[in-house]
Amino acid sequence: MARTPARRKPRMAAPEAPVRPAVVPQPAAPRPAPDRAAEPHLHATLDRAAMASLARLTAGLSPHAMLDAWSDWAMHLARAPGRQLELAERAQSNALKLARYAAAQATGQPQDKPFAPGPHDTRWTHEGWARAPFALWQQGFFATQDWWHAATSELRGLRRQNADRTGFLMRQLLDTVAPANFPLGNPEIIDRTQATLGRNLLEGAAHWADDACHLLTQEHRPVPEAFALGEVLAATPGKVVWRNDWMELIQYAPTTDEVQAEPVLIVPAWIMKYYILDLSPENSYIRWLVGQGFTVFCISWRNPGAEHAEWSLEDYRTRGIMEALDVINAIVPGQKVHANGYCLGGTLLGIAAAAMARDRDDRLASITLMAAQLDFAEAGELLLFLDESQVAFLEDLMWSQGYLDRPQMSGAFAAIRSEDLIWSRAVRRYFLGEADRPTDVTVWVNDTTRMPARMHSEYLRGIFLENRISAGRFAVEERVIALKDISVPLFVIGTESDHIAPWRSVYKTALFTGCDMHFLLTKGGHNGGILSEPGHKRRHYRVGHRPAGRLYRDPDTWLAAHEPVEGSWWPEWGRWLVRQSGGTVPARVPGSHPDYPALADAPGTYIHQS
């Protein structure tokens, strides 16, 4: 039966004691009943219900936000004759390039293509795009893309967000009419249809029907048997040593006779299931870390439902990170903890660490932040989806159903890379008749979670939209926290092609802290860059050290000053972690503490919730 621990204020460490003594958590006080007098008027409830109904039809995108972007762009362009003349000249130039290319093709003369696809657009790799008429159709599409990119670029007086949003919307509209998306316009589809006598189209129709059924019913696809959780994925041996309504705490079984004295706590994002860090044995970050001689604990978050709508960001801090630290302190007494946060888990860890520093709670030995932002002023393309109108729209949707559901989140992430994640997949699946080939990463991507309404609203509004953490306006227990109070060593990791947490945004942790800090930039994206196990081909990283008190360097200056190092970044970080540790002790067996016996084998029960 699950134990329910207490939600307590952080305790002050005695000046002479380097580590706070562990205290067994106590039952939490019940949440007070809602104040009915404070409930909204019926008219406001009607408005929210209407917006929630509309949000279901638009996949959570606010029509007002989109119309505002278009109108802002159109009015500023209408009063800019210079830009209009520039765009007319660009249209003429693009048309001449196309005409020269068409003439060269018609006469059989060699001619380089004047326009090229984007770096993430894989729709045009088939050799058929080099022959007529497909090559000309392709180039005409690219020429149109090029013109609209210029048309929606920055314009004096136009809000930058509206310019970016208009360009994004135009890319989505153009992608719907790309020749690669149509059987008669795509040479690869034509060749495949001829080779299979149309079987690819029949198989594609079956795939479309299957996807449509799952979309309409919102049915969660089970994890394939070939990637069974606990057997193939998330298979690192360990025990669940603590469980509450928010999380399970897993302690992993050692594989070495001795381990570093200080344990490691991994805090994953609640927007994902934790096993992105424990995939197949050959690329499991957790398995590798255990093999380096560390006592590893990891939080596995619950997948909440409508009944958990009132869970707050503070609940995740207290009932997640702080409670996990209490349990670890009891299991491993007298030792500080290396805390490691990934993505939003790193953002929450930064909040918790700043609050602990403010309250003289010195239980952390070091902090590692992996692809985690503490400042959101430059949060990349996700800002396209967020303004006051959009947040209010999502809040109404979450108010009606109690959470933000998986399709409403995954659709936003996919739209940012729609040419690859949406259209290329659709062509392969529906026209080429190719079934999805699951990998450990794609299985994890499809095994999504929900976000409690209150918590996600607090995150979107307070952290993302209003950027309160780095601005010194984020309060924990009614007192503002400051990142500069953090004094323990930091190791911050960014990834070069991250479109969720851009590395320059991640790097800004250096701007708001003054402690000893290493920053490492690795090749790859938000997930692929972190999953960079030793032996992974074509990987490199850069790493730099900023001693405490050193002056700030901007990200581009930092990049120019650090040469790439070939290989995985994991050993580099592992060596740093050993340097922050105090020597080895006999290995610890999970579940052996009398107050924290094993509740279940890893990966626990919450990971299976859909």
pLDDT, one tens digit per residue, over 109-130 is 888 899 998 877 888 989 999 9
Per DSSP, the three-state class of 521 is strand
pLDDT at 406: 64
pLDDT band at 504 (very low <50, low <70, confident <90, very high): very high
Write the DSSP symbol of residue 22: P
| Residue 409 or residue 18, greater confidence | 409
Listed residue (384, 372, 347) closest to 503, CA to CA: 372
| Confidence category of residue 5, pLDDT binned at 50, 70, 90 | very low
User: How much is the pLDDT for 35?
Assistant: 46
Q: Which residues have CB under 8 Å from 43's CB, separation 6+? A: none
Mean pLDDT of 565-578: 97
63-78 and 160-176 helices, crossing angle to 10°: 110
- Mean pLDDT confidence for 383-389: 78
* pLDDT of 49: 84
pLDDT of residue 416: 63
Buried b (16+ CB within 10 A) or exposed e, 298-314: bbbbbbbeeebbebebb
Q: pLDDT tens across 291-328, in order?
A: 999 999 999 999 999 999 999 999 999 999 999 999 99
Q: What pLDDT score does 93 carry?
A: 96
Check if 515 is active-site: no
Identify the band that residue 411 occupies on the pLDDT scale cut at 50, 70 and 90.
low
Query: What's the pLDDT tens digit per position in 237-257?
Result: 999 999 999 999 999 999 999
> Of 213, 298, 343, 515, which is the active-site residue?
343
Q: How far apart are CA 277 and CA 286, in angstroms?
A: 6
Which one-letter DSSP state was computed for residue 233? B
Q: How far apart are CA 546 and CA 509, in angstroms?
A: 12
3-state secondary structure of 548: coil
Q: How many whole angstroms separate alpha carbon 356 and alpha carbon 352?
A: 6
Specify the DSSP class assigned to residue 295. -
Give pLDDT, residue 266. Answer: 98
**What three-state secondary structure class fits 11?**
coil
pLDDT for the residue numbered 13? 40
Of 73 and 400, the structure prediction assigns the larger pLDDT to: 73
Rounded to 5, what percent of the chain is helix, strand, coil?
45, 15, 40
Sign of CA dihedral 383, 388, 389, 390: positive
> Do 343 and 269 form a contact (C-beta atoms < 8 A)?
yes
Residues in the chain, overall count: 610
Confidence of residue 413 (pLDDT cuts 50, 70, 90): low
Residue 39 has pLDDT above 70, yes or no: no
Does 458 score more than 80 pLDDT? yes
Q: Which residues pair with 267 in a beta bridge?
A: 341
The owner of tokens 């204020």 is 9
pLDDT for the residue 220: 75
Domains in the chain and their CATH numbers?
A: 63-178 (no CATH), 228-405+450-605 (3.40.50.1820)
Q: Name the helix (H) or strand (E) containing 339.
A: strand 337-342
Rounded percentage of the chain residues whose pLDDT exceeds 90: 67
Residue 57 has pLDDT above 80, yes or no: no
- The rounded distance, in Å, linking the Cα atoms of 394 and 52 is 8
Encoded tokens for 16: 């002479």
What pLDDT does residue 160 have?
86
- pLDDT surpasses 90 at 216: no
Pick 106 or 311 by higher pLDDT: 311
Please state, in angstroms and as integers, the Cα–Cα distance from residue 75 to each residue in 79, 212, 332, 389, following that order: 7, 39, 64, 20
Name the residue among 595, 608, 536 with its Cα closest to residue 571: 536
Average pLDDT over residues 450-463: 91
Determine the pLDDT at residue 24.
47
DSSP conformation letters of 306-325: GGGTT--HHHHIIIIIIHHH
pLDDT of residue 17: 38
> Which range, of 153-157, 281-285, 577-581, averages the lowest pLDDT?
153-157
What is the predicted pLDDT for the residue at 30? 44
For residues 498 and 408, the model is more confident at 498
In this structure, of 26-40, 509-523, 556-570, 579-593, the range with the lowest mean pLDDT score is: 26-40
Confidence (pLDDT) at 32: 47
When pLDDT is cut at 50, 70 and 90, the band that residue 424 belongs to is confident
Q: pLDDT at residue 484 above 60?
A: yes
